Every structure is written in structure tokens, then in C-alpha cells.
A and B are shown apart, each in its own frame.
Chain A
Amino acid sequence: MTIEVIGISVLWLFLFGYVIVASIDFGAGFFNASTIVTKKHHIVNTVIQRYLSPVWEITNVFLVFFFVGMIGFFPQTAYYFGTVLLIPISISIILLALRGSYYAFGTYGTKGHVGYTLMYGVTGVLIPASLTTALIVSQGGFIRETASGRIELDYVALFTSPFAWSIVVLSLVSVLFISASFLAYYSSVAQDKKALKLFKKYTWIWSFPTIVTALGIIIEMRWHNPAHFEGLVSLWWLFALSFICFLISLWLLKTRNYGWSFIFVVLQFALAFYAYGVSRYPYLLYPHLTIYDSFTNETMAYALITVFILGLMLLIPSLYLVFKLFIMNKPYIQSGK
């Protein structure tokens, strides 16, 4: 394993961590708001509030870890992605800022304000959509070189591409699927039967669209980026395993093993996420950047990996403490104490 591969694997892990944690968070915000409209808010409110309160900052840090690490290990990405993604990522920052601060305002300041809750729900679906732009652009075909040698984002191509829209749709439905699955588990621990029933239903509703769009994207890749399509096909067995995990998770949901069901949802996404990551090796940005030509110097790479290991030794016990105190703590989940 080369140091470049170690670097990108670490970053991929952060990104996966963000996808899962943020999906739960975004989805929870969405359900929290949408149930106000459907008048079922009283059912889900307690469970969602109790989960979200202590962990909201942690989600954001995963994202920061990912892009700081990206610039650290692959500094050239700063130039390419930084230049072309000015507008989409700025929109993401603005939405993240509104979401984060208004959540804090709503929770610690004036409790139960409907405006905050709605804002929190709407940003929860807009952020995945705008952040996904980075992934879409990395697939190639959306960056144009101007006569003066500048690079810029081809917005017309981006907005008219069915491939791009499919990825946006996938990001939205998987956010809702992951989140519903987790919240079903969380309500079962809280012994909140009404909330459990509702989230179980939501998990079923969003499960099949997730699989259908994912499959659609793989097929579309054939036209969008044939080389990558071949990479995907050669890893068919990983995607098949992912699909099996999906089926197992649904079966476990049906047989009321909510914790295991959620674990298999995570496994399903992990397999697909890593299979996708491996299939695009060695490209960071088709066809401009690979992990090799954009890599930082070796000294910095080793320094970063050392810090990463030391940092994990500090963080894992701390996160374990959070987990023990809030997330896996039955008295807390049930009563908020």
C-alpha cells in the first residue's frame, strides 16, 4: 500500500463518517419539520430533540476534518476544487451556517419556535444537494477551460445533466433512509412506540428509492464516464454484497431487530461507498487529478498520519464517553436525564 493510498483511505473514512452522521442529522431535521406540516410532530419531537442536542457540533467537525485533510494530503485539490466550486460550496457554507446557528438559537434560546424548526428542515435537504456538487464535478465533464487558461464550472452542462440530478436525488433519498432507520432504532431504545411505528414506516418508504436511484446512477455512468463504469462493473461483487446487506436490514426491520437493522444499513452504505471509491482509483478529479500527481510531499504526509493516529487516541476515548453518556444511555434516551 502506498502512502497516497493510505492518505485517501483515511479521508474516505472521514467522508463516510460524515455521510452517515450528517444524514442522520439532516434527515432528523427534515422529519422534525415535515411532521409539523403533517401534524405528527408531537410524536417524533421528543426523540429527535433528545438525540440531536448533544451531538450537533460533532457532525460539522467531520466535514472540516475531511476537507482540511484533503488539502493537507492533496494540496492541488485546493486549486481545482477551490476555483470551480466557489458558488456551490459558498451556498453550502451559508446553509450550514444558518442551520447550525439557528439550531442553537432554537434549542438553547427560544424553545420550540416554528420558524427555526422549518428552517432547520429545509436546509437539511438543500445542504446534501449543494455539497453533492463537489462529488458530481469530480466525475469529470463539468469543468471548462477558457481561452485565457482559467478553469471554470460549466453550469449549463451541470444543470442539464440527468446524471448530475440523479446523484442529487440519491443523496436526498439516502439521507432520509439512513436517518429513518437510525431514528427507528433510537425510538425503540426510548420505548416510544408511536415514534417507532412512524420511523419504521419512513424507513420502508425511503428504502426502495435509494436502491433504484443507486442502480440508475451506475447505469448512467456507462455514458457519462465509460472508464469509471468499467471500474464499477469489475467490482460488481461488492455492490452485490451491499445489496444483500440492504435486504438483510429490511428483514431485520420486519423482525424488530432495529439496532441490527441500522447496522446493516451502515454496512450497505459502507460497501457501496468503498466500492465506488476503489472503482474511481486513482482519480480525484477526472481527468485532471490523480492521487499521485496531486500528492503532498512525503514529510508532510508522514507528519499528518502521525498526528492522525495520535489524535484518534485522544478522540476515541472521548467519543466513547459521549456515546456512553448520551447515545447508548437508556435512562438518558428515555427521560432526558
Chain B
Amino acid sequence: MDSVEFSRYLTMLTLSVHVIFATLGVGVPIMITIAHWLGLKNQDEHYLLLAKRWARGYVITVAVGVVTGTAIALQLALLWPRFMEFAGQLVALPLFMETFAFFFEAIFLGIYLYTWDRFKNPKRHFYLLAPVVLGSAMSALFITSVNAFMNTPQGFTLVDGQLTNIQPLVAMFNPAMPTKVAHVLTSAYMTTAFVLASIAAYHLLKGNRHEYHRKALALTMKIALIFSIATALVGDLSGKFLAEYQPEKLAAAEWHFETEGEAPLVLYGVLTETNEVKYAIRIPYALSMLVHSNPFGVVTGLNDIPEEYHPPLVVHYFFDIMVTIGIWLTVLSLFYWLALSRGWAVIKTRLFRILLVASGPLAMIAIEAGWWFTEVGRQPWIMRGFMTTAEGATDSPYVWVMFIAFAILYIILMIGTAVVLTRMFKKNPVERELEKLADEQRSVAK
């Protein structure tokens, strides 16, 4: 293997680790805000404690998110020096703004964490969350616009290898940006809600009947349902976007070879050596419907795209994983909501709780699959139409050494995070914290 492949693997590794923490980084602030607001509004100490405990765990994931984010930012220049040299002239603006947005978020998160009892008016402390939520969403927006630019570059003219007529804002607001940013935000909120729901469901599954966990589960599942639907709607728009601007990516995801109308949606299956699709589920007209909202709409197939620009066909599976999990989780949260509002006992069964516990990890797998789909699906390009991944990569022969070093680092970080988070919450269970709060209030009353 050469340095190009190792650069790709190392980037994939860093991104795959970072995206876990980035997703939580975008999602958790909004959950804390909702819980904190409910707590203040209803004078409910359970919700306040929920906000407090989520915030405490959040700091750990933010810390790992910061360091893996620094890693990916530096690796862009270390592994893709030619690409950064070229693209730096076009997308430095959102990269720079992302740093500001994150800084803004980090400052206020720090203040929020350390000032739980420092303000006389508790609402003031609550308002500190606004910059945290805003900062995290903005940093997701800016960084996603860079990724969108790699898919649909614009805002410049290339004449004899020279960049002219550069318009940074046009580059930033490229065609891929709106759907991508919306998809990243909604799916991050959705995934975070499921991850937090998993935790609550786990406690209930373990036989803990505390009101706190029931409230946590009901709240997070409702939020999860809202954002699952939002994610599905945005996902549909993303499909329509792909058909128009990156038909090869959609065609590869769908194993769609012939350009034709009445195109079926292909799910699962395997591909033979002669590119025949076997054992797949075909939903007639569905792909045409998805793309054109019309069963007869013509969808471009891979055979109309030069072979050297075909993305790897494995992206079909990434796409399937993402969509399947997305649909499953929407159904699960919808069912939970129906059952809760009608008092069906089925959601209290052991089996259903196991399904709920699985929802968080599943959502995270969908996030990973989604990123693999979009990144592998852009191949062979690093900047579609202008620079291939091979042209952008470093020629240093030592990338493999760094791959091993970073793999070890990430293993240490992941294990460390898991151990610290479990220990942190096991040592200080909800019941004990609530008792402590009650004691304090009693002593104040005296």
C-alpha cells in the first residue's frame, strides 16, 4: 500500500472517532437546554438534575472532541498538503469562522459549568446556554460547508492552473451546503436524543424505578421522534440534491447502472463480478419517486459516467445501513410515543427496553455509515472535478507509522472515555444526589 491509501485510512480513522464526539458535541447542548428550561419552568428538580448530570458527562466528550478535532484539523494539512494548499485559497473563510464559533461555545460552556450556584437569579445562569447551543450549531454549519465544498466546489475560475475570480462566500454557500448542514444538524440532535434515551432505558432495564429515569426516557424519546422525522425529510432532500449535482454518488449508492425512468429502489443484496445485483429487495418506481417525485422520472445510471469516476460500489451498504437504521428508529420512537400517550403496557416490557437501549448505539452506527457513504462516495475526488484524492495526498513514506500511532491513541481515548464516564455516574448515582439536594434544602429551611 502507498501513502495515498494510508492517508485515506488515517483520515477515515480520525473522522470516524471524531464524529462520535462531534455529534454529541452538537446535540447535547440542546438537550441540556430543554431539560434545564423544563426544570426552571416546572420547578422540577429532576429535570434540573438531568441538565446538571448531562452537562457533567458532556464535558468529558467535549474534551475528547476538542483533541480529536485538533487532530483532524492538523491532519488535513499533514496528510493532504496539496489539497490544503489549493483549497485553502477558497475555503479558509469557513475554516477560520469555525474556530471562532467553537471558541465562543467553549468559553460559555466553561462559564456554565462552574457557575451553577453563583448567580442570584437562576435564569441568568440558564441564558449562558444560548451561546453554547448557538456556537455548537454554527461550528457544525461552518465545517460542514467545507465538506460540502469538496463535493460541489464553486466560487472561483480555474484558468491554466491559476485560480482567479475567487468569491469566498459563493464557495461557502455551495449547492451541497444547505442539505448537508441540515442533515448534519438534525441527525446530530436525533442521535444524541437516542443516546441519552439509551442510558435512561438501561437504568429502567436494570430494575431502577426512579421517576428521574422515566422522565428522562420520555423526554429524550419525544425529542428523538421529532428529529427522526426532520432527519428523514432532510434525507429526502439530500437524495434529490445528489441526483442533480452528484448523480454518480446516488447511482453508486443504489447500484443503478442504466439511465432509465421507472427506476426501482434497490435495498441490500450482493453484486456479482459482472455487476449483476442479486438477492436484493427492489421497490418498483421508488428511486424515480425519491428523486423526481414522479414514478417515471429518469435517473442517471453509472453506465453513463466514465468508469474512472465511479465511486466504490461498497457505498451501497453504507447507504443501506444508514437508511435502515433511520427508518427503524423513526418507527421505534413513533411507537413509543403512541404507547405512552395511550398507556400501552408493552413499552414497559423487558424486550422493548432492550430495543430502547440499542437505539443509541444504532443511531451512532448510522452516523458513521452516513459519513463513510458521503466520503467514500466522493471518490476518486477529494475536490470533485478539480483534484483527485491521489493528487491531494502527501508523498511522505511514513504515513503507515502514524496510522498505527493514532490507532493506539484512539483506542486509549475511547477506553478512557468509557471508563471515566461509567465510573463518574456509578460513583454518584441519581438517588444519592437527590438526597443530598433534599438535605441541603432542609438545612436552608431550618
Contacts and interface: CB of A to CB of B under 8 A. Distances in A.
B107 A299 contact: no
A81 B88 CA distance: 14
Contacts of A67: 73-74, 77
Contacts of B324: none
Contacts of B398: 86-87
B303 interface: no
A89 B76 CA distance: 12
| Chain B interface residue number, banded | 35 or more
Given A75-B88, A97-B409, 11 more contacts: A57-B110, A58-B110, A82-B80, A83-B395, A86-B399, A100-B63, A100-B70, A101-B64, A300-B92, A307-B97, A322-B111
Contacts of A325: 111, 114-115, 118
Contacts of B54: none
Contacts of A85: 78
A68 B84 CA distance: 11
Contacts of A69: 96
10 contacts: A57-B106, A58-B106, A71-B92, A83-B395, A86-B78, A87-B401, A87-B402, A97-B70, A101-B416, A300-B93
A68 B110 contact: no
Contact of B99 (A65, A80, A96, A102): A65
A325 to B, nearest CB: 6
Interface stretch (B163-171, B193-201, B203-211): B163-171
A322 B93 contact: no
A79 B115 contact: no
Contact of B166 (A93, A152, A300, A307): A300
Given A109-B424, A297-B166, A300-B93, A79 B67 contact: no
B100 interface: yes
Interface string A289-318: 000000011011001100110010011001
A322 B413 CA distance: 28
Given A85-B78, A101-B417, A321-B111, A75 B92 contact: yes
A160 interface: no
Contacts of B409: 94, 97-98
A197 to B, nearest CB: 28
- Which of B67, B115, B416 is packed against the most chain A CB atoms within 10 Å? B67
A97 B118 contact: no
A326 B118 CA distance: 12
Chain A interface SS verdict (over half): helix
A3 interface: no
Given A101-B417, A105-B416, A322-B111, A93 B70 contact: yes
A147 B360 CA distance: 53
A73 B73 CA distance: 16
Interface string A30-62: 000000000000000000000001110110110
Chain B interface SS verdict (over half): helix
Contact of B84 (A71, A100, A315): A71
Contacts of A58: 103, 106-107, 110
Contacts of B423: 109-110
Given A61-B99, A101-B416, A303-B168, A90 B67 contact: no
Contact of A296 (B88, B114, B412): B88
Which 10 residue pairs of A and B lie closest in terms of their CB atoms, listed nearest first? A72-B92, A75-B88, A104-B63, A82-B81, A109-B420, A78-B84, A97-B67, A82-B77, A311-B100, A79-B85
A319 interface: yes
Contacts of B399: 86
Contacts of B89: 75, 296-297, 300
B104 A314 contact: yes
A93 B74 contact: yes
Contact of B396 (A101, A109, A152): A152
Contacts of B163: 297
Interface string B393-412: 01110110110011001001
B249 interface: no
B71 A304 contact: no
A61 B103 contact: yes
B84 A60 contact: no
A85 B398 CA distance: 11
A325 B73 CA distance: 31
A64 B74 CA distance: 8
B416 A83 contact: no
Contacts of B90: 300
B323 interface: no
B12 interface: no
B66 interface: yes
Nearest to A306: B93
Nearest to B107: A318
Contacts of A337: 117-118
Given A98-B412, A300-B92, A315 B114 contact: no
B56 interface: yes
Given A72-B93, A100-B63, A296-B89, A82 B84 contact: yes
A113 to B, nearest CB: 10
B316 interface: no
A306 B60 CA distance: 34
Interface string B412-442: 1100110011011000000000000000000
Interface in B83-132: 84-86, 88-90, 92-93, 95-100, 102-104, 106-111, 114-115, 117-118, 131
B82 interface: yes
B179 interface: no
B68 interface: yes
B160 to A, nearest CB: 16
A55 B110 contact: yes
A103 interface: yes
A154 B15 CA distance: 30
A133 interface: no
Contacts of A61: 99, 102-103, 106
Interface in B52-72: 56, 59-60, 62-64, 66-68, 70-71
A80 B395 CA distance: 12
B114 A53 contact: yes
Contacts of A296: 88-89, 92
A65 B118 CA distance: 31
Contacts of B77: 67, 71, 78, 81-82
Contacts of A297: 89, 163, 166
Contact of A83 (B81, B114, B168, B413): B81
A72 B96 CA distance: 8
Contacts of B131: 318
B107 A319 contact: yes
A63 interface: yes
A144 to B, nearest CB: 13
Contacts of A90: 75, 78, 402, 405-406
A68 B78 contact: no
B74 A315 contact: no
B93 A304 contact: yes
Nearest to B413: A101
